[in-house]
Structure 1
Amino acid sequence: MRILVFNAGSSSLKFGVFDLDPGAPLNRTRHVFKGSFDRFTPGGCDTSFNGTRGRAPHADLGVAIAAVPQVLTDHGVEGLDAIGHRIAHGGARFTEATELTPEVMEQIAALTPLAPLHNPANVEGVTRARACWPDLPQWGVFDTAFHLSQPARATTYAVPKAWRDAGLRRFGFHGTSHKYVARRAAEALDTDLRELRLISLHLGNGASACAINRGQSIDSSMGLTPLEGLVMGTRPGDLDPGAFGYLHRELGLEIDAIEAALNGESGLKGLTGSSDMRDVEARAAEGDAEAQAAINIYAYRARKYIGAYAAAMGGLDALVFTGGIGENSPSMRRRICDGLEFLGLKLDHDRNMVADLEGYAAPQIQAYGARVQVLVTETAEQLMIAQEVGAARKSPKPAPQPIPVAVSARHVHLDAAAVEALFGPGYELTPGKPLRQPGNWAAAERVTVEGPKGRFDRVAILGPLRNRTQVEVSRTDSFALGIDAPVRQSGDLDGTPHVRLVGPAGSIDTDGLIIAARHIHMHPDDAARMGVEDGDTVDVNLSHAARALTFAQVLVRVQPQAFTEMHIDTDEANAAGITGHTEGEVVPDMHVTTLTAKSTG
């Protein structure tokens, strides 16, 4: 499948053509053509076609897009199947690659106030491309989509309800880049993405950090707009909102003028007069105090986010640098990493200096023996857009399939040592009521679960014994206990909080307290019928529940003896108004790649 990808901006147009198999590893996609038109001026623009630089008379985005068909013809590129567009802001509506119908375009245009520098150019790019290729399907991939998995505690501003109801919330950007980086890092590390805690640092003219916990974005430095977070080329990053009132009172500036300056005259440009880190680093080496201060501010802000995100994830397995600065500035990588040895993060000088990114490489640059791995990789947003468009076109969603939904109340799974501590030496649990999953049962015995705020008596014990104790509660239960329990898949217990269990013979303090992520136990025959595999994610639509809703990104666990059913907790059941037996409809989420990224080469 051959996909043309456009990244249209107000002053530049980047485009590429990709031949791909949506199921192939990211570094195996063939990049057929790479082109750009940069720095539009009345006198023309710079060009780059497959690395050959030149000039063209094109003064704006529309003329440049109109020239692309001839450029491709001149380079022997033909046979396009679809066009993919980078769209900066998709709000909360667009969660995946979406065909750009007139209705969708109206919704994107309505989001312009949230991305005034980006969405208008993106929309113009789609309009111009449709005029050039009227018979080709046009698809949008949204920078915000990857971040829609973030929990409310990361996306909610502590502001009046009326403001939040009007749409004031954090979205995050560079999602396509961060998504690619996460998958490419997992491939390079030959590790299941669901086992990794990653921080992606996209450092370019626009810059952002993203905490990616076990394959999902859980926090990002940009917020409602791309202004929040790290220091950027022309944007300040984090800024006290009180600055608006202060500047109005002291300098007489109106909101429009302040916003314009924050978007175009701040960041490195505001600190040094130049938005290009290469210029800033050169001036700093010559003794320019402003440039030196700017570099220190830039690195400090990034380092602060790394520490915060490592704390938010309960640890860090890998840090990945990408973007123009992240890829090309060994000194900035070093400045950001210095002082993070307490996290187990340390660079190797020689590896950092010679990182070779040719062919989508993702070399490691950490010191030998360092616990946290550090990688550098070229950001490949266009490749990721092509992958997502190709997957959406190749794999339309199958028809919904019915599935029973089971509500799982709070319970514990015990290991042998916990049984003896709670019930006495040599004690064996008494199997009671059998459960639907073959070989599983509820024990006749019960335990108490106790936290700093409250306790639950007579909590069920499920058997058989496990090799590690696990305590499963709902979000509401965690507040009643007074402990912040993370959402985890069963068995993923590293870094989980401790809780006290009390039995008739004693008590233990154990880790393993989690809110179990919703999941589906599935028999292989049902998996084949529904077209899913172990590790896939699906959407489950509870259209028949009292409060109809859809649960997204539900993990499928295919097991030889499984009884097929979805498990949710009591909070989720209450949200759907479930009071008894109910069924959902499974729709495989064909736009979310299985998160078992293993290297094939």
Structure 2
Amino acid sequence: MKVLVLNAGSSSQKSCLYKIPDDAPLQEAPQPLWEGKINWTQDQGGAEIVVEKSTGEKLRETIAGDSRQTQFAYLLQTLTSGKTQVIGDLSEIDVVGHRVVHGGQSYRHSVIITEEVKKAIADLCNLAPAHNPAALAGIDAIEKSLGNVTQIAVFDTSFHATLPDAAAIYPGPYEWVEQGIRRYGFHGISHQYCSQRAAQILGQDLAALRIISCHLGNGASLAAVANGHSIDTTMGFTPLDGLMMGSRCGSIDPGILIYLLRRGDSAESLDYALNKASGLRGISGISSDLPAVITAMNQGNKRAQLAWDIYVHRLKAEIGAMLASLAGLDVLIFTAGIGENSAAIRQAVCEGFGFLGLKIDSEKNQNQPVDADIATPDSTVRVLVIHTQEDWAIAQQCWELVKSR
């Protein structure tokens, strides 16, 4: 089965093609046959196309087109022609899977995309304005380029559908519950994949493990996983809640917003401040990129130092909350851009939980670990660095849904 995966964002469109055996899915993520990315430039109509085959052939072009559909159609052509060709015709693609950030309460599992599903995704655009519209654009582009091929929506919120009410419902007026205002959680595809991968790496039954998964990128969240299910998470009604992030504030006193609104700030200005001008960028005044903040901190920049201190403090505090929900801990996972690449963050966090008997091997931690246990043999908690494979997880779910029909 050939599965094309689309992971759409507001400024880029990432795609990859997997070939999965028809009789049984592969357990470990294979290298995609083909990977393509469109980076939209600031100039209207401009786009950078980057394509790579598993055999190493690469293509990088800047093109101008009348529409994003034109540019996407050009990207798809690289599947069937030129030095990046991997299939003879687009009709060889059996199914297309899309990462959809917000599925609301209606979609607790991956689903085949219908007009009803598209409408539901559109209705949730106000809760994920940077992502759901991009997913819809990708769905429409596939319809125009591949016709009636089966398309499947894989929701970032689905993994957190198992949250108990005590974790999911906010302590506001009960009318909020009836209006669908609750904790949905995000990064579910990543948290689910990493939890399953952790069990594989350790050779243990996932159902027997208490796991805290730390997805630390420009967006960041934690998930407490018990019996293979999410029972608590840090992101909430929107992806703004929880941890301090690259440019998002995370959890703050809601009274601050009331104060600022009464002072005369508009909803639009608050939206920008909370999502684009807060977090590492807002505190450091330098960047939303942690390595840049660390560089400035090492040069004596006090605001960069403060940004680091707040980031680590809040990360440890939220891990503590997940620890309480699990009533113990067997595995701590670090994943995504910061989690996978920042030995300093892993070191700072793990030092804070030494009282649990958690110990990491400093040499292993510094040695760019991938899908590896960096805890010492006598540590009471296994500490894993896992390369998250969201695209592969989407492809797997597509395979399972198609085979179950």
Return the TM-score normalized by structure 1.
Answer: 0.63
3-state SS in 1 of match to 2:372: coil
Shift, 1:53, TM fit: 7.4
3-state SS in 1 of match to 2:392: helix
C-alpha separation in 2, matches of 1:319 and 1:195: 14
Aligned to 2:38: 37
CA-to-aligned-CA distance 1:343-366 (integer Å, 9 cap, x gap):
222221100011343xxxx10111
Amino acid at match of 1:234: S
C-alpha separation in 2, matches of 1:291 and 1:194: 41
Range with bigger deviation, 90-99 or 43-52? 43-52
Amino acid at match of 1:40: T
Aligned to 1:86: 99
C-alpha separation in 2, matches of 1:288 and 1:129: 48
C-alpha separation in 2, matches of 1:224 and 1:314: 25
Which of 201, 204, 207 is equivalent to 2:217? 204
- Correspondences of 1:410-425 after superposition (within 5 Å): none
Aligned to 2:268: 256
C-alpha contact (below 8 Å) 1:318/1:374 kept by paired residues: yes
- Correspondences of 1:91-490 after superposition (within 5 Å): 91-250=104-263, 252-273=264-285, 274-357=287-370, 362-396=371-405
C-alpha separation in 1, matches of 2:9 and 2:210: 32
3-state SS in 1 of match to 2:182: coil
Range with bigger deviation, 307-316 or 70-79? 70-79
Shift, 1:66, TM fit: 2.4
CA-to-aligned-CA distance 1:219-248 (integer Å, 9 cap, x gap):
110000000001111211111111211112
CA-to-aligned-CA distance 1:237-294 (integer Å, 9 cap, x gap):
11111121111223x1112221232122221121223111121122122221111111
Pick closer, same or farther for the CA change 1:241–1:55 going to 2, 3 Å.
farther
Pick closer, same or farther for the CA change 1:230–1:141 going to 2, 3 Å.
same
Shift, 1:67, TM fit: 2.2
Superposed CA RMSD in Å reads 1.8
Aligned to 1:69: 76
Aligned pairs, how many? Answer: 391
Return the TM-score normalized by structure 2.
Answer: 0.92
CA-to-aligned-CA distance 1:456-483 (integer Å, 9 cap, x gap):
xxxxxxxxxxxxxxxxxxxxxxxxxxxx
Query: Which segments of structure 1 move beyond 3 Å, counting only runs of 4 or more?
Result: 21-26, 43-48, 51-55, 58-64
Shift, 1:30, TM fit: 4.5
3-state SS in 1 of match to 2:231: strand
C-alpha contact (below 8 Å) 1:244/1:255 kept by paired residues: no
Aligned to 1:27: 28
Amino acid at match of 2:255: G
C-alpha separation in 2, matches of 1:53 and 1:275: 29
- Correspondences of 1:539-554 after superposition (within 5 Å): none
C-alpha separation in 1, matches of 2:64 and 2:209: 45
CA-to-aligned-CA distance 1:390-442 (integer Å, 9 cap, x gap):
1100122xxxxxxxxxxxxxxxxxxxxxxxxxxxxxxxxxxxxxxxxxxxxxx
C-alpha contact (below 8 Å) 1:355/1:365 kept by paired residues: no
Report the identity percentage: 40
3-state SS in 1 of match to 2:14: strand
Shift, 1:300, TM fit: 1.5
3-state SS in 1 of match to 2:249: coil
C-alpha separation in 2, matches of 1:286 and 1:3: 47
Range with bigger deviation, 216-225 or 347-356? 347-356
3-state SS in 1 of match to 2:126: helix
Unaligned runs of 5+ in 1: 397-601
Aligned to 1:502: none
3-state SS in 2 of match to 1:27: coil
From the two aligned structures, give the one with the greater helix fraction: 2
Amino acid at match of 1:41: Q
Amino acid at match of 2:63: P
Pick closer, same or farther for the CA change 1:378–1:45 going to 2, 3 Å.
farther
Aligned to 1:507: none
Aligned to 1:57: 63
Amino acid at match of 2:305: Q
Bigger CA radius of gyration:
1
From the two aligned structures, give the one with the greater strand fraction: 1
C-alpha separation in 2, matches of 1:391 and 1:116: 29
C-alpha contact (below 8 Å) 1:10/1:61 kept by paired residues: no
C-alpha separation in 2, matches of 1:28 and 1:386: 10
Amino acid at match of 2:78: V
